[in-house]
Chain A
Amino acid sequence: MSWGFIRDLLSGVNKYSTGIGRIWVAVVFLFRLLVYIVAAENIWKYEHDEFECNIKQPGCENVCFDHFFPVSHIRLWALQLIMVSTPSLLVVFHVAYRENREKHHNQKLYKSPGKIDGGLLCTYLISLILKTGFEIVFLVLFYKLYNGFKVPRLVKCDMRPCPNTVDCYISKPTEKMIFLYFLVATSCLCILLNLSELSYLIFK
Chain B
Amino acid sequence: MDWGNLQTVLGGVNKHSTSIGKVWLTVLFIFRVMILVVAAERVWGDEQQDFVCNTLQPGCRNVCYDHFFPMSHIRLWALQLIFVSTPALLVAMHVAYRRHEKKRRFRNGEKIDIEELKNEKMHIRGPLWWTYTSSIFFRLVFEAVFMYVFYYMYDGYQMPRLMKCEAWPCPNVVDCFVSRPTEKTTFTIFMLAASGICMMLNLAELCYLVIKVCMKGARKTT
Query: Does B217 interact with chain A (Cβ within 8 Å)?
Result: no
Chain A interface SS verdict (over half):
helix
Q: Are B49 and A153 in contact (CB under 8 A)?
A: no
Chain B interface SS verdict (over half):
helix
CB-nearest residue of chain B to A55: B58
Contacts of B79 in A (CB 8 A): 35, 39
Contacts of B9 in A (CB 8 A): 29
With A6-B1, A34-B1, A178-B71 given, is the CB distance from A173 to B66 under 8 Å?
Answer: yes
Stretch at the interface among A42-50, A141-149, A190-198: A42-50
Query: Does A91 interact with chain B (Cβ within 8 Å)?
Result: no
Query: Does A22 interact with chain B (Cβ within 8 Å)?
Result: yes
Contacts of A30 in B (CB 8 A): 6, 82, 85-86, 89
The residue that A38 contacts in the complex, of B3, B86, B93, B97, with Cβ under 8 A, is B3
CB-nearest residue of chain B to A168: B59
CB distance from B53 to the nearest CB of A (A): 12
Query: Does B72 interact with chain A (Cβ within 8 Å)?
Result: yes
Q: Are A50 and B74 in contact (CB under 8 A)?
A: no
In A1-27, the 8 Å CB interface with B consists of: 2-4, 6-7, 19, 22-23, 26
Q: Are A169 and B59 in contact (CB under 8 A)?
A: yes
CB-nearest residue of chain B to A175: B71
| B: interface residue count bin | 20 to 34
With A30-B82, A38-B78, A53-B58 given, is the CB distance from A171 to B65 under 8 Å?
Answer: yes
B106-129 interface bits toward A, Cβ cutoff 8 Å, 1 = contact, 0 = none = 000000000000000000000000
CB distance from A28 to the nearest CB of B (A): 11
Contacts of A96 in B (CB 8 A): none
Query: Does B11 interact with chain A (Cβ within 8 Å)?
Result: no
How many residues of chain A have a CB within 8 Å of chain B? 39
Query: Does B169 interact with chain A (Cβ within 8 Å)?
Result: yes
Contacts of A46 in B (CB 8 A): 48-49
Query: Does A167 interact with chain B (Cβ within 8 Å)?
Result: yes
The residue that A33 contacts in the complex, of B1, B58, B93, with Cβ under 8 A, is B1
Could you list some 9 contacts between A and B, CB below 8 A? Answer: A6-B1, A7-B1, A26-B93, A34-B5, A38-B82, A39-B74, A46-B48, A172-B66, A174-B70
